[in-house]
C-alpha cells in the first residue's frame, strides 16, 4: 500500500549494513547520491556476517581466468554468461576500490594460498586479501564501516525493512516500510532500493524448505539474517535462485541460550587434543571422518560434490582424557559471532558447561547412550569397534588420521552437535546490473541487490568469494541505481 505521506526520503535506500551495504552506500555517495542505510541490528551489532567473518575478500588476478574458474565452480548449475562476465571483471577491482578510499589491502600470507578447487581451470586467479596487517578480528569490517562513518552516511539502527512499497501500475519500487520502536515508518527512495540484508541463516522454515539434507541448521554468523530480503522480494514478484546452496554444514554445539553456534576444537581437528572421541548419528554409528574436512560443507561423491551428510541429532562421544585436556570450545576470538560478539567465556576445565547440561556424562557407555536417547548396545558396539581400530592405528571405516586414540576407562561424555553454517547463498535472482528479476527475466524497476542475498554461487564456493562479491555487486548495484531518473 502506498502511504499518503512519507516519513523520510533519500535517493538510494540501502537495506542492511554489511559489506554489500557498505559497497553500495559508499559508491552511491561518491557518485553524489543522497543515501540512507537501514539496519535491523542495534548499533554495535551491525555488520552482519561481514563483522565476524574470517575477513578475507577475493581479488581475482585476471578477468579471463576468473570467468573460467567461476564457470567451473558453477558446474551443471550454470549462471548466465553476462553475469559471469561482470562478476569476473569487477572482482579484479576490489583492491583498487579499497585503495582509492584509503584502505590497505594485504594479501593473505599463509601457504597454500587457499585455492579451494585447485584442479578446476582458472583456479590460479584466486588471491585473497584483507585490510591492514592481520586478518580476522573484524579488522576488514572495521575499515568498511569507517568508510560509511567518515562520510556521515546516515544509518538507522534497529530499523528492519518489512515491506517494499510498489507502484501497483508500473511495478516501480517507490520505497520501503520499516519498523522503528515498534512503529511503522515509510521511507521514500527517489531512485532505488538496494537490498543487502543477507541470507536466511536464522530462518528454520526456509532452511527446512530449501537446504538439502538438514532438518535444521544454525549459524556461526549474525543472528539478524532471517531471510527478510527474500520475503520482501518475493512479495513484489521476484524470482529466487541458488536457494539450495550454502556454506555448510560443519558440526557444532548449539544451545538454547545462544542464537549462534559453538565450534568444538576436537572436531575438525582445529586443535589436536588427547583422548578418545567419535561422532555418531541417531543410529549410534559413526558416519564420517571426524575431521569433517569439507570444501565449505561439500564433499566429493561419485564425481559430484554434495553437502556433507549430517544425520541429526548427532553426538560427539568422548572420554575422560579428552574432557581433561582443556576447553572443548575454540574461544579464540578471530571470527564467529559467538567468539567476537557474545564472547562467551567457556571454562578451562569444561566444568561450567557440564553443570549447564551442555555436556552429558555417565559412568558407562551404555548409560551415556540412554541419557542421549541412543541404543545402548549399538553405541557400545561402535565404541568397541573404534577402540579396536584406534589401537591398531587404522580407521578402516572412514580413514581418519588424527586423534586415533581408544577410549579410556571412563567416565564418558557426550555433546549434541547440530549442523552449522557460515551463510546461505540463495535469494532473489539478480542480473548483470544487480537488478532483481521476475520469473520472466524482466527486472523489477528500481530494485537492486548485492551480497549473499541471492549470490552468484550456485554450486561450489571459493573461500573469500562472498565478501569479494559483496564489494563487486555492491558497486554495480550503486552505479546502476544512481543512474535511475529521480522521482519525487
Ligand atoms: C564465521 C564466518 C566466517 C566467514 N569468513 C568469510 C571470509 O573470510 N571471506 C568471505 O568472503 N566470506 C566469509 N564468510 C561469509 C561472509 O561473511 C558473508 O557471506 C558476507 O559477509 C555477507 O555480506 P552481506 O553484506 O551480504 O551480508 P551481512 O554481512 O550478513 O549483512 C547483512 C546485514 O543486514 C542486516 N539485516 C538483516 N535483515 C534486515 C532487515 N530486514 N532490514 C535491515 N537490515 C537487515 C543484518 O543485521 C546485517 O547487518 C564468513 C561467514 C561467517 C559466519
> Which of 449, 465, 379 lies closest to 414 in space, CA to CA?
379
Question: From 3.40.50.300, 3.40.250.10, 3.90.700.10, 1.10.10.10, which CATH number describes the 249-421 domain?
Answer: 3.90.700.10
The DSSP symbol for 442 reads: P
Does the Cβ of 469 fall within 6 Å of ligand 1? no
Owner of C-alpha cell 524497476 = 445
Domain 8-246+424-482 adopts which CATH fold? Answer: FAD/NAD(P)-binding domain (3.50.50)
State the span(s) of the chain assigned CATH 3.50.50.60.
8-246+424-482
Pocket of ligand 1, candidates 13, 14, 15, 16: which has the most ligand atoms within 8 Å of its Cβ, to mutate? 16
| Residue 315 confidence (pLDDT) | 98
pLDDT tens-digit map of 411-444:
999 999 999 999 999 999 999 999 999 999 999 9
Using the predicted structure, report yes or no on whether residue 268 has a pLDDT greater than 90: no
State the span(s) of the chain assigned CATH 3.90.700.10.
249-421
CA 227 to each of CA 19, 205, 284, 348: distance values in angstroms, whole numbers, following the listed order: 17, 10, 34, 36
Percent of the chain with pLDDT strictly greater than 70 = 99
Atom of ligand 1 nearest to the CA of 130: 8
Q: With contact defined as beta carbons under 8 Å apart, do 91 and 164 qualify?
A: no
Pocket of ligand 1, candidates 51, 245, 270, 423: which has the most ligand atoms within 8 Å of its Cβ, to mutate? 423
**Average pLDDT of the segment spanning 150-161:** 98
Atom of ligand 1 nearest to the CA of 55: 8
Ligand 1 centre and the CA of 375: distance in Å?
40
- Residue 113 pLDDT class (50, 70, 90 cuts): confident
Owner of C-alpha cell 549447564 = 356
Backbone φ, ψ for residue 176 (5° rounding): -150, 140
pLDDT tens-digit map of 299-337:
999 999 999 999 999 999 999 999 999 999 988 889 999
Ligand 1 centre and the CA of 199: distance in Å?
8
Does the Cβ of 46 fall within 6 Å of ligand 1? yes
Pocket of ligand 1, candidates 197, 217, 235: which has the most ligand atoms within 8 Å of its Cβ, to mutate? 197
- Residue 478 pLDDT class (50, 70, 90 cuts): very high
Q: Which three cell numbers stand for residue 53?
A: 567473518
Query: Which of residues 184 and 265 earns the better pLDDT score?
Result: 184
| Residue 111 confidence (pLDDT) | 58
Length of the chain: 488
| Residue 290 confidence (pLDDT) | 95
Q: With contact defined as beta carbons under 8 Å apart, do 181 and 248 qualify?
A: no
Instruction: Please name every residue paired with 269 in a beta bridge, in sequence order, or none if there are none.
Output: none
Does the Cβ of 161 fall within 6 Å of ligand 1? yes
Using the predicted structure, report yes or no on whether residue 468 has a pLDDT greater than 80: yes
pLDDT tens-digit map of 247-258:
999 999 999 999
- Residue 112 pLDDT class (50, 70, 90 cuts): low
Q: Which three cell numbers stand for residue 481?
A: 541505481
Does the Cβ of 451 fall within 6 Å of ligand 1? yes
Backbone φ, ψ for residue 207 (5° rounding): -60, -45
Cβ burial 394-403 (10 Å sphere, 16+ → b, else e): ebebeebeeb
Q: How many CA atoms lie within 13 A of 7 on its CB side?
A: 12
Pocket of ligand 1, candidates 466, 469, 470: which has the most ligand atoms within 8 Å of its Cβ, to mutate? 466
Q: What angle do CA 449, 453, 457 make, to 5 degrees?
A: 105
Q: Which three cell numbers stand for residue 129?
A: 586479501
Owner of C-alpha cell 578477468 = 63
Ligand 1 centre and the CA of 224: distance in Å?
9
Ligand 1 centre and the CA of 125: distance in Å?
24
| Residue 181 confidence (pLDDT) | 97
**In the predicted model, what is the mean pLDDT of the chain?**
97
Query: Which of residues 432 and 111 earns the better pLDDT score?
Result: 432
> Which of 118, 129, 130 lies closest to 65 in space, CA to CA?
118
Instruction: Please name every residue paired with 461 in a beta bridge, in sequence order, or none if there are none.
Output: none
E strand or H helix at 179, and its extent? Answer: strand 173-180
| pTM greater than 0.75 (yes/no) | yes
**Average pLDDT of the segment spanning 366-386:** 98
Q: Going by CA atoms, what residue is nearest to atom 53 of ligand 1?
A: 221
**Average pLDDT of the segment spanning 193-222:** 98
Q: With contact defined as beta carbons under 8 Å apart, do 15 and 195 qualify?
A: yes
CA 354 to each of CA 97, 327, 338, 477: distance values in angstroms, whole numbers, following the listed order: 49, 11, 19, 49
> Which of 453, 141, 418 lies closest to 258 in space, CA to CA?
418
pLDDT tens-digit map of 51-85:
999 999 999 999 999 999 999 999 999 999 999 99
Does the Cβ of 250 fall within 6 Å of ligand 1? no
Using the predicted structure, report yes or no on whether residue 110 has a pLDDT greater than 80: no
Amino acid at each position: 500500500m502506498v502511504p499518503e505521506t512519507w516519513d523520510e526520503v533519500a535517493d538510494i535506500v540501502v537495506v542492511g549494513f554489511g559489506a554489500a551495504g557498505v559497497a553500495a552506500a559508499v559508491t552511491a555517495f561518491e557518485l553524489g547520491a543522497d543515501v540512507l542505510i537501514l539496519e535491523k541490528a542495534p548499533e554495535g551489532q551491525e555488520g552482519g556476517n561481514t563483522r565476524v567473518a574470517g575477513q578475507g575478500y577475493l581479488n581475482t588476478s585476471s578477468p579471463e581466468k576468473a570467468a573460467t574458474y567461476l564457470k567451473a565452480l558453477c558446474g551443471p548449475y550454470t549462471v548466465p554468461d553476462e553475469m559471469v562476465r561482470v562478476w569476473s571483471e569487477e572482482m579484479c577491482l576490489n583492491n583498487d576500490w579499497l585503495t582509492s578510499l584509503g584502505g590497505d589491502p594485504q594479501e593473505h600470507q599463509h601457504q597454500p594460498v587457499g585455492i579451494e578447487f585447485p584442479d578446476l581451470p582458472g583456479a590460479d586467479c584466486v588471491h585473497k586479501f584483507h585490510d591492514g596487517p592481520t586478518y580476522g578480528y573484524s579488522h576488514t569490517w572495521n575499515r568498511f564501516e569507517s568508510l560509511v562513518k567518515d562520510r556521515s552516511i546516515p544509518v538507522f539502527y534497529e530499523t528492519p525493512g518489512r515491506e517494499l512499497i510498489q507502484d501497483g501500475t508500473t511495478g516501480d519500487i517507490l520505497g520501503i516500510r520499516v519498523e522503528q520502536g515498534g512503529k511503522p515508518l515509510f521511507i521514500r527512495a527517489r531512485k532505488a532500493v538496494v537490498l543487502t540484508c543477507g541470507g536466511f541463516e536464522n530462518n528454520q522454515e526456509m532452511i527446512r524448505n530449501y537446504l538439502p539434507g538438514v532438518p535444521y541448521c544454525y549459524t556461526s554468523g549474525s543472528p539478524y539474517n532471517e531471510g527478510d530480503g527474500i520475503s520482501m522480494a518475493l512479495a513484489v514478484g521476484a524470482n529466487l535462485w541458488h536457494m539450495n546452496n550454502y556454506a555448510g554444514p560443519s558440526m557444532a554445539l548449539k544451545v538454547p541460550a545462544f542464537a549462534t553456534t559453538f565450534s568444538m576444537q576436537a572436531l575438525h581437528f582445529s586443535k589436536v587434543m588427547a583422548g578418545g572421541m567419535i561422532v555418531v548419528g541417531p543410529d549410534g554409528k559413526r558416519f564420517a571422518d571426524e575431521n569433517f574436512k569439507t570444501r565449505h560443507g561439500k564433499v566429493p561423491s561419485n564425481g559430484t560434490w554434495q553437502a556433507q551428510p549430517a544425520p541429526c541429532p548427532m553426538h560427539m562421544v568422548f572420554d575422560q582424557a579428552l574432557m581433561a585436556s582443556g576447553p572443548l570450545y575454540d574461544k579464540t576470538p578471530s571470527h564467529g559471532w559467538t567468539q567476537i560478539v557474545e564472547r562467551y567465556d567457556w571454562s578451562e576445565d569444561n566444568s561450567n558447561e557440564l553443570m549447564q547440561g551442555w555436556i552429558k556424562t555417565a559412568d558407562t557407555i551404555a548409560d551415556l547412550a540412554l541419557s542421549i536417547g541412543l541404543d545402548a548396545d549399538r553405541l557400545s558396539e561402535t565404541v568397541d569397534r573404534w577402540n579396536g581400530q584406534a589401537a591398531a592405528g587404522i580407521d578402516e571405516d572412514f580413514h581418519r588420521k588424527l586423534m586415533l586414540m581408544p577410549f579410556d576407562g571412563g567416565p564418558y561424555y557426550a555433546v549434541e552437535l547440530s549442523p552449522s553454517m557460515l551463510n546461505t547463498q540463495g535469494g532473489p535472482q539478480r542480473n548483470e546490473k544487480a537488478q532483481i528479476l521476475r520469473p520472466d527475466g524482466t527486472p523489477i524497476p528500481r530494485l537492486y541487490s548485492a551480497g549473499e542475498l541471492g549470490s552468484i554461487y550456485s554450486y561450489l564456493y571459493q573461500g573469500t568469494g562472498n565478501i569479494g562479491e559483496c564489494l563487486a555487486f555492491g558497486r554495480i548495484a550503486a552505479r546502476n541505481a544512481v543512474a535511475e531518473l529521480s522521482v519525487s
